[in-house]
Structures are given as structure tokens and as C-alpha cells.
Structure 1
Amino acid sequence: MTLHLLATQLWRYRVAGLMVTLGVTFLLVLIGSHLLQQSSPHVWHKGWSKQPVENREGLAYGGNANHRPNKPYQDHKRRSNTQPSGAQDHMDANIYNILRKRTRSPPVVFLKTHKTGSSTVQNLLFRMGEKNRATFAFPHYTYQFGYPDKFRAEFVDELPDGYSQYDILCSHMRLDVVQLKQVMPPNAIYITILREPLQTFESVFSYYTTTVPAFTLAKQTAEHKSALSVFLESPDSFWDPNEPGNGLGKNPMSFDLGLNSQQWISSWPADLTLLEETFQLVMIAEHFDESLVLLGALLNLKLEELAYVRLNTRSPQDVTPLDDITKARIRAWNSLDVLLYDYFLQVFWEKAEQYGLERLNREVALLRASTDTIRQKCVARNGVPPGELEDLVRPWQSDSVTILGYQVQGNLTKQEQGFCIRLVLPEIQYHAHLYFQQYGRDMRALPTE
């Protein structure tokens, strides 16, 4: 029977046709509900039940965790071939792709800013995406989108076969909204995170002392003073604005957001307005739990899905104390970041008031209680030096600071272990794991010139 004839018959006997349609719809709803009950986790540790981690090496992570890029912040054209290689044989990425389902959360773009707590947010999105079998927009090479160049659509790896859109983009980039919208669906949620500029710049300087040329020059000049104080005494004598590697050397958050980070220009007010219109949520690191509650509302996440541990944290001895003079100099040198942060701090509290402050406070308390329970279940030790961590959970180490990690509890079921390892999994290992799951191959290294 042709489609035209079928349509004619349904019109003639529209009552019968309507009953058949309702019956089929009802049957599909019952089947869909059954499948959701089969696949949805009912307790926090069962979200990985369809793909349990059989042992601590059970992630589909290619190669040795020691094989990591030596300098995560540098011109992408100059980075060396230092990506993980090899793959776990028992993880079948093709089967994973066959079973993929569209995520129930809306598509997400997360602008991962430097030294603001963004690695912790990215880990949350990685976990959400893996559990929901989302399609990630990954960099074509390594784990950053051509940084420090501005984002371009061509930096994104191809869609996996059989899929029509990306669900999550959350790797490091320098913002270009127009280019991003060529990649992500029009209904994508845009989020980012900012941190108080004094702490941000101190952390950026500490972490990238041997990578940002201006910081390196100051370090070479410093004798009995800290390199940070030497730099801030006369930053212009070290900072060359024409050096691409100096992008993070001044107003690093403004730089990541694609703004003119060197000086105030007349377009700045309009640029801030455009950013406010683009981002549905700008999280604030100093109000992290409040930010997570608002994020959860945007992405339809449960409390257990918002659980976190703070990732990519430095050893306390690598944190430089800031006296009043140093603070004043950081503010002066990073005046645009101060403006950016103050602007979006006000926007953040406006959104919090729209959400309801009493409601927000209640849900923050619930989030903290839930997160504390999960941390106690998962974490045996925190602040663990890298030498005491196994490769899978050892963070990448900067040349200038020590990055601490977490030791997972040993008395866990396989399902619990799978959840807990992912909770503490550093960026590079998790990125490589998800990339292999999605494409069945390791991340590509940058071509050498």
C-alpha cells in the first residue's frame, strides 16, 4: 500500500486512525520508560554499570600516562609529538559507538579558562558526557584547540560516523564565538568560569613560569626575590606584546575570552555585552558550589552528578603569598581582568537572585552534603605527591610547580571504582580515554615542521 493510499485511508477513517496512532504512541512510551529504567543509575555509583572498570587500568586510555605534552601552553605549531600511544585491547570503541544514545542534557560549550578551577568543571562534563554517551567536539590535534590562536572550526575533529551534531565541547581554546557557532548546535548552552584576578595571576605565573617567555625572563633575573615580585616591579621590561607565547602574561582571563587583553579599547563595553549575551552562565570560582547548583539547573543534573574534587591543585609550597604591594601591582597590570571579573560577578549574583537566594542556599547545602559523602566513599588520600600516584591518576606536572592528586579507596566494587577513578581522573588521561572511546584511535600528535 502506498503512502498516499495509507494517508487517504486514515483520513476517511480518522477516528480509527487516531486510535491506532494513540495506541502505538502509548506502546512506544512504555518501551522508552522501560529502557530508561534499565539504563538510568539509581544510586551514585551505578552510573557506569554498563561499562564497569575491571581494574585500575580499565579505562580506554591509550598509552602510558607518563607520555604527556611537556608544555601545555605554547604555540600549537611548535608543540612536540608527545601524545599517548597504544590502546587497551579489552575496550571495544566500535561497540561503544554502536550503543551511543543522544544525551538528555542540552549541548554544552565550556570555555576552559586557565587556572580558574576549570579542570574541575571539565571533569564533571567529561563524566556527564561519558555516562550519557554524548558526542564530544575534540581538537583535531592533541587536547587543545590550537591554543593560543583563536578558535577556528577547522580545529575540531570530524564527527563520528552516523552522528549529525556534537553534544559537548570543553577543551582549552581561545574564544571566537562566530567560529564556535559553526560547530555547535544553535541550542547549545555556553558556560565558562572566572576567578578573582589576584589569585588567577599568581597561579598562572607560578604554573607557567618556564613556559610564558615574559615570566621566564623574570625568573632568570630574580636572585633573592620571588620571580613574581621581580616581574611586577617592571612588567613592561619583560613582556613583549608581539610574542605569541606571552598571551597569558597579562590579563589571562581576558585573553582566553578572546578580548583585547593588552589595553583598554573603545569596543570593550560592547564586547562585555556580547559575552553576557553569549554565556548563559559565567561561573565564579569563589562561589563554586553556588555556581554548580546553577549549572545543574541549566543541564538537568542531579546532586551526585555535580560531585567533585578539586583537580590540578598545586603543592602549598608553590603558592606565593601576596602582600599589599604585590596585590596592588597585580591589579594594575591586570586591570582588564579586574574589570571583567567585577562585571560578571555582578551578573552572577543577578542570576542567583533570579534563581532564588534561599533556594540556592538550600541546594548548596544539599550539594555539599552529597559531595562529602561521595568523597569519603571514593578518596583514600588527597594532596598526594605525584611520585606516590599510579600513572592513571597522576596529574601532568609543570616544570615549575608540583601538582597533587588523589588516591582512590581500595575497598570498592568494580562499579564504584569506575565512578571514583573518573572523579579524580586528570584532564589528559580522561581526554585520551574519551577520545579513544569515540574514535577507536589515539589522539593525533601535532605534525612537526
Structure 2
Amino acid sequence: MTLRWLSSQLWRHRVSGLLAVLAVLLLLTLLATQSLQINRFAPSRTHELRPTEERRNHREPAHRHTKHHTQNTHQTPKQTSPTSDDQQRAHPPVVFLKTHRTGSSTVQNILFRLGERESATFAFPYHTYQFNYPDRFKAAFVDELPEGSSQFNLLCSNMRLDLTQVKQVMPPNTVFITLLRDPVRAFESVFSYYTSTVPAFLSAYRAAADTANRGKSALSVFLDSPNSFWDPNEPGNGLAKNPMSFDMGLNNQKWNTSWPEDLSQLEEAFHLVMIAEHFDESLVLLGALLGLDHEDLAYVRLNSRASDSVTELDKNMIAKLRSWNVLDTLLYEFFMQVFWEKARQFGLERLNVEVAKLRASTESVRQKCVSRAAVPPAELEDLLRPWQTESVTIVGYEVQGNLSLQDQGFCVRLMLPELQYHSHLYFRQYGRDMRAAPAD
């Protein structure tokens, strides 16, 4: 008991020591921020998951997605039935906490493909595509266990994390993973993507239209005085400050004394926290964790914005972004260190070799599958057209022609947007369309 107690104390001391170092770094960042600020102010139903010539020749304009809209993409070539009690999957159960605008749609696609290939049982939301976001996750938000399945194998739909509730749904041997991104880039992407739906962002967008702010981007106007737009009591403003901390279930409004313990619990719970700026290295570690080969991990980047939808950032804006999202900076720096600890345990030289192999395999898959990349939504058929927000343009992919049916099925799934794939897998599992969200 003494050794166990001592080990526990050392572990807590280790986390606290790391947090102290990070706190000093964050203080220096805030001081630099103040200096900069002083200087400045002196879809439709489809019949199969493959494109057809008819659809290529009869494209329709992109339609807007609403809260109650679902896309039916479930009529596909015959698949095997969901995993039954007497079947053993080759990989452990997985929970992927899908964070916003971090590259998580790409990781989700990898897991969707894996789950479909293995006839895994997905823990899907009871309504639509998200687990009652932005409410904290509850076990009651999950749809029923399908007949013939003894447990859920994969949970990778959007939610705000509550570890205790998630563990009530998933088996004890579940692997927990998530993905974090540099807070500056993550927030810029969140702001542009959700300008019309997050109240704080929408207010800044409207203010940017005033003559007094002529020539300024909405993001720049927001960062000039974020507290004037942000109401912490507005439920829809969860993503408006420290959005990654919010998704991770942390207090995203301000530092409090529970943060060190909360970070320690997250580090203990998550087997891998991937880093977007080291995406391929992250995938190699994910592959080692789940027993996946290079083709399993091959990807194209999904839910990406057109280049003209990305806001250019100057040094002053970057400093303000870090200051406004200081808790996300702490979260990111903490798990960056944890990530490289895991990389060293894996072996850095070995990691570099495996990354090179993954990139070669991914490039081969892309050349086989992708006819055109960064395709505007108006030029994409419904099946492969990503959901479009009112404030940004999301581009997609066009599939190569003259593929075998097997290759075409693989390639379409590789580039299938999140909502279409989610809807397809839901129908495959339950034999019905997804339920719309209840009316307010």
C-alpha cells in the first residue's frame, strides 16, 4: 500500500510540476500579448456508395444543412451483418473524442472505414449526428444496442466529453483517443466555420459590417474586444473561447484549481492524444495502438475549407488568439509533451521509418482514387458534397474513373463526407433513417 501511495504522489507531483512550467510559459505569452496590444493601440437520397455517370452529368446546386436535415446514403452493395456475440473483432473497442476543426473528420473517416469493414457496432446518437452537443455527454444520448450485438465497439460522433458517462456505454477495455491542434489555427477555423451559428461570432460578424470597422475581418473585430461579444451564459457560445477545452469537458471560461487534477485524469484516460501538426506521426502511433496497417491509415483531408475561406493572421492577431484561448494553449502544450513521450517510447527512428512508409502508401492510394482535389461544392454530386456553412466554402474530391467496383467502393469511402458516411452506417446498423432532433 505504501509503494502504491508513493507512486500516486509522484505521479501527481509530475503533473503539477509540468503545469507549473507551462504556467510560466503562458505568463510570458500574456506579457508579450499585452506589449503587442499596447503597440497596436498607441443532401438527397442515393442508391449506392459510388458515383454514376448520370449524377456526374446532372449536378444540382449545393443545399444548406439544417439542424433537422438528414441525408440518406444507405442503399449500398450488400454488406455483412453487425458483429454477433460469437464473433471476435481484430481490434479493441475505441472512443474517439471528435474535437472541432482539428482534422478530426479525417480520423473519424479512418475509424468509419475500419468499423464498416469489421461490421463493428457503433454507439450512435439517438438523434441526428451529435450527442446533444453542446450538452455534456450522457449515456442516455446513445441509441439502443442493435439486436445480435453484445457491446458497442466504436463511438466517434461529436460530443462534449463526460468520461464517467462514456465509460457507462463502452466496454472496460476501450481505447480512448482524441486530436488537438495549435490553438491559434484551431480557433481561426472554428470562428470562420461557425460564424453564423455561434452567437458571439455572429455578433462580431455584424459589427464588422459597420463603417467604423471597414476593412477589418470579423475575426479581427472579435479579437479587438472579445468580451463585448461573448456571453458565457449563452449555451451556444461553448466554442467561442477555448473550444478544445470545452470539447474535452473542461472549464473553458477561466483557470480554476481543478484544472491540474482534470488534466491528470484526461492523461490517464486517453491512450493517445494525437497532434494535428504531427498528423502522420500521430497516425503511426494510432496504428500501433489499434493494430492497423498503412492502407488502413491512408487518408485524404476531409472537411477542408477553400483557400479563400481562411483568414490571414498577423502577429498581433496571433498574440490575441493565444491570450483569448490561454487554456487551450495550456491543454495543447501539456499533451504535446505527453505525445513526444509516447513517440520516444515507440522509438523516434522507428517512427520516422513508419511515417515514410505511411506517406508512400497514402500517396499511392490518393493517386489511385483521386481524380481532382479541392473541388468546389457546386461541381460535386450530392454523395460527395460536404455540408456547406453560410460563412465558408468546404471543398471535396472527385473519384477517378475506370475503377473496378471494389476499388470504387474503397475510394468513395475514403473521401465520403462525414454526414453521408454517418447516415449510411446508421442505416446499415439499424435498418432505418436517423431520427431528427426534437423540435424546440
Shorter-chain TM-score range: 0.7 to 0.9
Matching residue of 2:6: none
Matching residue of 2:23: none
CA contact (8 A) 1:67 1:83 kept: no
Matching residue of 1:268: 259
1:162 Cα shift? Answer: 1.7
Query: Between Structure 1 and Structure 2, how many residues are aligned?
Result: 381
Matching residue of 2:51: 56
Report which of the two structures shows the higher radius of gyration computed on alpha carbons: 1
The residue matched to 1:96 in structure 2 has which SS?
coil
Q: Distance in 2 between matches of 1:176 and 1:319?
A: 32
1:448 Cα shift? Answer: 1.4
CA contact (8 A) 1:151 1:176 kept: yes
CA contact (8 A) 1:68 1:428 kept: no
1:97 Cα shift? Answer: 3.8
Q: Deviations over 1:150-205 (max 9, x none)?
A: 00000000011021100000000000000000000000000000000000000000
Q: Deviations over 1:122-157 (max 9, x none)?
A: 000000000011100000000100100000000000
CA contact (8 A) 1:112 1:193 kept: yes
Matching residue of 1:34: none
1:339 aligns with 2:330: yes
Aligned partner (choices 422, 432, 443) of residue 423 of structure 2: 432
Instruction: State the one-letter code of the partner of 2:341.
Output: E
Q: Distance in 2 between matches of 1:299 and 1:98?
A: 18
Matching residue of 2:278: 287
1:298 aligns with 2:285: no
The residue matched to 2:429 in structure 1 has which SS?
helix
Matching residue of 1:350: 341
CA contact (8 A) 2:82 2:148 kept: no
Q: Distance in 1 between matches of 2:177 and 2:235?
A: 26
CA contact (8 A) 1:145 1:171 kept: yes
1:66 Cα shift? Answer: 6.5
Matching residue of 2:69: 82
Aligned partner (choices 173, 180, 191) of residue 166 of structure 2: 180
1:203 aligns with 2:203: no
- Describe how 1:359-370 pairs up with structure 2 within 5 A: 359-370=350-361
1:383 aligns with 2:374: yes
Change (3 A) 1:214 1:307: same
Q: Distance in 2 between matches of 1:201 and 1:86?
A: 31
> TM-score scaled to structure 1, two decimals?
0.82
Change (3 A) 1:92 1:357: closer
RMSD: 2.0
Instruction: State the one-letter code of the partner of 1:124.
Output: I
Q: Distance in 2 between matches of 1:276 and 1:442?
A: 37
Matching residue of 2:244: 253
1:84 Cα shift? Answer: 2.8
Instruction: State the one-letter code of the partner of 1:388.
Output: E
Aligned partner (choices 404, 407, 413) of residue 413 of structure 1: 404
Aligned partner (choices 96, 99, 106) of residue 81 of structure 2: 96
Matching residue of 1:238: 229
Matching residue of 1:325: 316
Q: Distance in 2 between matches of 1:165 and 1:388?
A: 41
1:151 aligns with 2:137: yes
Q: Distance in 2 between matches of 1:103 and 1:327?
A: 45
Q: Distance in 1 between matches of 2:120 and 2:61?
A: 24
1:96 Cα shift? Answer: 2.9
Q: Distance in 1 between matches of 2:118 and 2:61?
A: 25
Q: Distance in 2 between matches of 1:298 and 1:236?
A: 42
Change (3 A) 1:219 1:186: same
Aligned partner (choices 115, 123, 127) of residue 113 of structure 2: 127
1:85 Cα shift? Answer: 5.0
1:83 Cα shift? Answer: 1.7
1:301 Cα shift? Answer: 0.3
CA contact (8 A) 1:138 1:157 kept: yes
Matching residue of 1:44: none
Aligned partner (choices 97, 101, 106) of residue 111 of structure 1: 97
Q: Distance in 2 between matches of 1:420 and 1:91?
A: 14
1:260 Cα shift? Answer: 0.2
- Describe how 1:28-43 pairs up with structure 2 within 5 A: none
Moved over 4 A (4+): 64-68, 90-93, 98-101
Which structure 2 residue ranges, 5 or more long, are not aligned? 1-47, 53-59
Change (3 A) 1:166 1:65: farther
CA contact (8 A) 1:263 1:336 kept: yes
Q: Distance in 2 between matches of 1:110 and 1:362?
A: 26
1:272 Cα shift? Answer: 0.5
Q: Deviations over 1:30-62 (max 9, x none)?
A: xxxxxxxxxxxxxxxxxxxxxxx68427xxxxx
Instruction: State the one-letter code of the partner of 2:333.
Output: D
The residue matched to 2:169 in structure 1 has which SS?
coil
CA contact (8 A) 2:84 2:148 kept: no
